[in-house]
């Protein structure tokens, strides 16, 4: 869930978002520099019939349909009416808070409610040894040959540099809390370069932390830093630090803060942040950090299987200050996302990359009724279950893909593009087909590699991006190449129906309303795919 506000924002809108994502069944579920103080530091192609490679062994639970050559999917989408948009914009006027609430029990459908308040709104470490200045080494899943960190910046690094991409830079919409448009507005935490994350483990008089605070830290690190390094191709050097190695006791009981699902910033969270600052300020230089993670003792509040409380407040200029800096970009993580499958040690950390995604300006991709229009193809949609990555569009938006890696299919006629797997460093990654100034289709290759663990077999993912649709309302929608198939996987908390959404050679996506056709022509040696775009 994220709650977003902007720090010293000069434009755009902000929001309050609860912990994001839905569980895999389509119902809701939650998904560096050295420290200045002692503590823990993380340091013309022939058309073919679909073939493919062997994929997820679990796919046998849901056999695929026999593919037909040149199978065509007619996509007739219904978009929001002007009246619907006007109603939504009225809710979000004056840059009000929007409580994109945390995901509930995977068995319970989640609802949302809007909250109005201040400008901006809501977004959303192993064994540690040593007694004093403890250090946690960052072990990454990415190769040492990955490019090193650059100066921190937010949003697409090359925005505006390549005029040929202009039609594909769909415009950000200021009347929604978190727009998928480009560029990402100022005020979010930097998404490239070295980013320092302050981690504070807190507990309460009525919910005292079980065990050591560093054990709580170890639930999330170094896995979170590894996840970001892999997803960003080494462009985000996420330095997690914990200058305070013990539980930070709050003066009030947990209940006294009024924290519940969808709670706004005022008054409970403001009081909690004020108390955190009062308890830690003498020993922490808050000004040295780009974002704050508050890792709450997991026994405070309900189980995540019942109600997910995790939330992020981003870009909040009215947040309490410490060391002259507003705590404007802060993520709160509560009870453990443990679905009982025995995978928590490997997957439970993923709520934090999701919440930090809000700090970097990414919206929730699950829908307000607890459904999923994206499935497991982005961690901003589902962060329970098997590991998954971000969509290529989000990687471009965050500055993890260069303009040279984007192909803009804006010209009339027929054009062909070669795409390399998204998980691979370098090469062309996304073909974008603009439909209007605010929307278009993104095309990318997904494989079981990098952060993607639940991809049954390689293929081409096609999805629509709409910058006028708000967080939690489905700003991105994946096209399912095998509708009503039941999917290809039975992994826990992976959206089954969309798990086989990938298009294979010989298959065509059609947007009949705009006369756009996207055909997967061939899978080439080395795992690349060639696609053809036809448009008027």
State pLDDT tens for residues 94-140: 333 333 333 333 323 232 222 323 333 344 333 333 323 333 332 22
Residue with tokens 């695929």: 64
Least confident of 29-33, 57-61, 140-144, 493-497: 140-144
Q: Is the pLDDT of residue 236 over 90?
A: yes
What's the mean pLDDT in 71-91?
37
pLDDT band at 234 (very low <50, low <70, confident <90, very high): very high
Percent above pLDDT 90 for the chain: 57
pLDDT tier for residue 304 given thresholds of 50, 70 and 90: confident
Give the residue with greater pLDDT, 318 vs 237. Answer: 237
Cβ-contact 124, 354 below 8 angstroms = yes
pLDDT class of 161 with cuts at 50, 70, 90: low
Q: What is the pLDDT of residues 277-301, one digit of tens each?
A: 999 999 999 999 999 999 999 999 8
Closest C-alpha to 532, from 415, 430, 441, 429: 415
Look up tokens 């993923």; give the residue: 350
pLDDT of residue 186: 86
| Average of per-residue pLDDT across 24-32 | 38
Tell me what pLDDT residue 51 has.
Answer: 36
Give the residue with greater pLDDT, 316 vs 503.
Answer: 503
| Beta-carbon contacts of residue 190 (< 8 Å; ≥ 6 apart) | 152, 153, 154, 290, 360
Report the pLDDT value the prediction gives residue 41, as an integer from 0 to 100. 52
C-alpha dihedral sign at 206, 207, 211, 216: negative
Quote the pTM value: 0.75
Q: What is the pLDDT, as a whole number, of residue 5?
A: 37
13-26 residue pLDDT tens? 334 555 544 444 44
The region that residue 182 occupies, defined by phi over 0 for left and psi between -120 and 50 for alpha, beta otherwise, is beta
Distance, in Å, from the CA atom of 353 to the CA atom of 379, rounded to the nearest integer, reads 8
User: Any idea which of 31-40, 233-242, 375-384, 403-412 has the lowest mean pLDDT?
Assistant: 31-40
End-to-end CA distance of the chain, in Å?
40
| pLDDT for the residue numbered 141 | 28
Segment 518-530, tens digit of pLDDT:
999 999 999 999 9
- Cα–Cα dist 511/509, whole Å: 7
Q: Encode pLDDT of 181-222 as tens digits.
A: 999 888 899 999 999 999 999 999 999 999 999 999 999 999
**Rounded CA separation 33/198 (Å):** 12
Q: What token pair was written down for 239?
A: 């330095």
Report the pLDDT value the prediction gives residue 1, as an integer from 0 to 100.
Answer: 57
pLDDT at position 336 is: 87
Average pLDDT for the chain: 77
pLDDT above 60 for 54: no
350 contact partners, CB below 8 Å, separation of at least 6:
31, 227, 337, 379, 383, 384, 387
Query: Among residues 319, 264, 312, which one has the least CA distance to residue 286?
Result: 319
Which of 236-245, 484-493, 527-536 has the weakest average pLDDT?
484-493
Secondary element (H or E) of residue 509: strand 508-511
The string of pLDDT tens digits covering residues 347-381 is 899 999 999 999 999 999 988 777 789 999 999 99
Mean pLDDT of 256-267: 90
pLDDT of res. 308: 78
What is residue 371's predicted lDDT score, i.e. its pLDDT?
A: 73
pLDDT band at 39 (very low <50, low <70, confident <90, very high): low
Those residues whose C-beta lies under 8 Å from the C-beta of residue 131, and which sit 6 or more positions away, are none
């Amino acid at each position: 869930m994220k709650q977003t506000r902007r720090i010293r924002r000069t434009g755009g809108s902000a929001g309050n978002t609860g912990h994001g994502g839905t569980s895999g069944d389509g119902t809701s579920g939650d998904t560096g520099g050295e420290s200045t103080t002692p503590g823990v530091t993380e340091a013309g192609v022939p058309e073919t019939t679909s073939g493919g490679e062997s994929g997820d062994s679990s796919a046998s639970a849901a056999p695929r349909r026999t593919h037909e050559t040149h199978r065509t999917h007619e996509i007739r989408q219904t978009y929001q009416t002007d009246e619907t948009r006007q109603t939504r914009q009225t809710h979000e006027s004056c840059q009000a808070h929007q409580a994109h609430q945390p995901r509930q029990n995977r068995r319970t459908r989640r609802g949302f409610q809007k909250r109005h308040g201040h400008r901006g709104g809501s977004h959303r470490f192993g064994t540690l040894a040593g007694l004093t200045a403890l250090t946690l080494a960052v072990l990454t899943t990415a190769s040492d040959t990955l490019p090193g960190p650059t100066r921190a910046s937010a949003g697409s690094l090359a925005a505006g540099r390549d005029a040929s991409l202009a039609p594909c830079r769909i415009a950000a919409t200021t009347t929604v809390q978190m727009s998928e448009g480009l560029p990402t507005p100022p005020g979010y935490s930097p998404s490239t370069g070295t980013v320092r994350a302050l981690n504070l483990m807190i507990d309460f008089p009525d919910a005292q932390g079980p065990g050591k605070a560093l054990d709580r830290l170890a639930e999330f690190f170094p896995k979170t830093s590894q996840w970001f390094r892999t997803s960003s191709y080494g462009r985000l050097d996420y330095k997690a630090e914990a200058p305070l190695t013990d539980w930070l006791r709050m003066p009030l009981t947990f209940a006294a803060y009024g924290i519940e699902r969808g709670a706004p910033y005022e008054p409970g969270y403001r009081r909690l942040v004020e108390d955190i600052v009062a308890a830690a300020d003498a020993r922490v230089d808050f000004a040295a950090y780009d974002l704050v993670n508050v890792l709450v003792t997991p026994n405070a509040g309900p189980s995540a299987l019942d109600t997910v409380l995790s939330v992020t407040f981003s870009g909040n200029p009215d947040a309490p200050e410490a060391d002259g800096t507003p705590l404007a970009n802060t993520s709160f993580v509560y009870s453990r996302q443990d679905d009982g499958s025995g995978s928590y040690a490997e997957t439970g950390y993923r709520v934090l990359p999701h919440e930090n995604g809000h700090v970097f300006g990414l919206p929730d991709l699950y829908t307000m009724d607890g459904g999923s229009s994206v499935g497991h193809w982005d961690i901003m949609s589902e962060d329970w279950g098997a590991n998954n990555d971000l969509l290529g569009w989000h990687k471009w938006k965050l500055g993890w893909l260069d303009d040279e890696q984007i192909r803009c299919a804006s010209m009339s006629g027929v054009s062909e593009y070669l795409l390399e797997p998204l998980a691979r460093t370098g090469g062309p990654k996304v073909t974008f087909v603009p439909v209007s100034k605010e929307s278009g289709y993104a095309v990318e290759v997904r494989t079981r590699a990098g952060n993607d663990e639940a991809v049954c077999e390689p293929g081409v993912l096609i999805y629509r991006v709409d910058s006028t649709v708000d967080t939690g309302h489905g700003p991105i929608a994946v096209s399912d190449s095998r509708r009503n198939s039941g999917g290809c996987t039975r992994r826990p908390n992976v959206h089954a129906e969309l798990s086989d959404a990938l298009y294979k050679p010989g298959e065509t996506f059609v947007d009949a309303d705009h006369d756009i056709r996207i055909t997967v022509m061939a899978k080439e040696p080395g795992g690349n795919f060639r696609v053809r775009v036809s448009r008027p």
